Amino acid sequence: MRLSDLRGRHVAVWGAGREGRAAVTAIAAHGPADLVAVDDSANFLTLPWEGPLAAAAPLVTGEDGFARLAAADVVVRSPGVPNTHPWMLELRRRAVPVTQGSALWMADHADRTIGVTGSKGKSTTSSLISHLLTAMDRPNVFGGNIGVPLLDLPEAELYVLELSSYQCADLADSPRVAVVTALFPEHLDAHGGEREYYRDKLNLLAHGPHTVVVNGADPRLALELGDRAAVRAGSPDTTHVANGPDGTPWFHLRDTPLFPRAVLPLVGRHNEGNLCVALAVLDALGVDVVARKDSLAVAVAEFQGLAHRLTEIPDPSGLTFVDDTLATSPYAAMHAIDAYEGRPLTVIVGGTDRGLDYTPLREHLAERDITVIGIPDSGPRIVEALAGLPAVRTESAEDLVAAVGLARKLTPAGGVVLLSPAAPSYGRFRNFEHRSEVFAQAVADTAR
């Protein structure tokens, strides 16, 4: 289904955030017979619905919204609307067509698109791909889950997109290059279970991509892919890290050394894997990675990473404060903790409680000397899951601001205070950017 297919039809947009606003604007331009917006979760964080948006589509809130959704020819849901929502289940039962802005956009742009998803690493990897392509004289537009809705993107010859599992779920077209960075249980409450999550995530690959590039070192991903044809980054027959000419780790393309690992300014082995995937994508797109290795090394060295992903905040105390608010699962938090191995570490955890199993985090910290501060909503449950570990000290705080103040008192000089919440931000914050803003402000305020 394309945007043009909505002309003359009765359309309901479900969601009033960034994605819903972009959908209303884009759909209104294609002449639907009727257009309405529905928001069943309005609260004090909701932005005003006014001006051109209100003129294009009246906003219906609360329980009245379902009748408008059920009466529509097509429902365009925002990514934040889960598959398990009771209204979604009933719409499916009634055979009401449901799609998303991402699917409408992809139907018109798939052949010009590199789409990146993964339970971990999709933000950094997609950003790396876009950055390196630009350095290789391949201009592109970067967007998606990273913050720019697909329906707000300008026309371009090439796109690089970060796509969440929610955005992948309703796709009926795969991008030309489909990329998967990692796979582990995430967002199970929204998808309905582990199998459903993997199905929705890997729907990115289900509609005829020209090329598939994956992280070949990820065991769950390897199991789910089976013998499917794919470029498996991290393997000796493509891009990988091995000892180079000077005996230190280097990035390689097959047998050819490209540049030292030290060129990449991002910490952690997981970021080595992210760059291997990005380089494999460039190779698949016909970039002569070997001939241009020196230029690539310069571009890699200039890449400073993403805000909210292991972003260090300067502080006069000598402590290193790190914003890793995009780490919304225990597995992502585990990678972040590993990146600061060998330094005194306090990690702040907690956010929206989706009922995740924190046993993997407990097992990961079994031999670690670390302080963990739990904040609502899931923080107390995480702290409880870590009880009894001999070298794990646990504390609780009433909110993120209080946790920063407590971390200053508990973290030894030269140590690290890491916000890696292992949970999403919604509920107590507008979005992950808002959580980052609160963290950074708390760091600044407590430094006085």
DSSP codes of every residue in 363-391: HHTTT--EEEEE-TTTHHHHHHHTTT-TT
Residues contacting residue 6 through CB under 8 Å, at least 6 positions apart? 27, 30, 32, 74, 104
Instruction: Provide CB contacts within 8 A for 194, sequence distance 6+.
Output: 185, 188
Residue with tokens 């429902």: 75
C-alpha span between 105 and 151 (Å, rounded)? 6
Q: Is the dihedral of CA 258, 263, 266, 268 positive or negative?
A: positive
> Which amino acid, residue 236?
P
Q: Is 79 helix (H, G, I), strand (E, B) or coil?
A: coil
> Does the annotation place 342 within a ligand binding site?
no
Would you say 122 is a known binding-site residue?
yes
Backbone phi, then psi, for 266, in 5-degree steps?
A: -85, 140
Has 351 been labeled as part of a binding site?
A: no
List Cα–Cα distances, 299 to 158, 272, 427, in angstroms.
Answer: 19, 15, 38
CA dist., res. 197 & res. 109, Å (int): 25
156 within 8 A of 141, measured Cβ to Cβ: yes
118 a known binding residue?
yes
Cβ atoms of residues 140 and 159 within 8 Å: yes
* Cα distance between residue 241 and residue 270, in whole Å: 12
Distance CA 143, CA 274 (A): 18
The reply, when asked if residue 119 is annotated as ligand binding, is yes
Q: Which two tokens stand for residue 334?
A: 């585990």
Of 307, 321, 329, 333, nearest to 403 (Cα)? 321
Q: Quick check: 219 and 258 in contact, CB under 8 A?
A: no
Binding region for ATP? 118-124
Binding region? 118-124
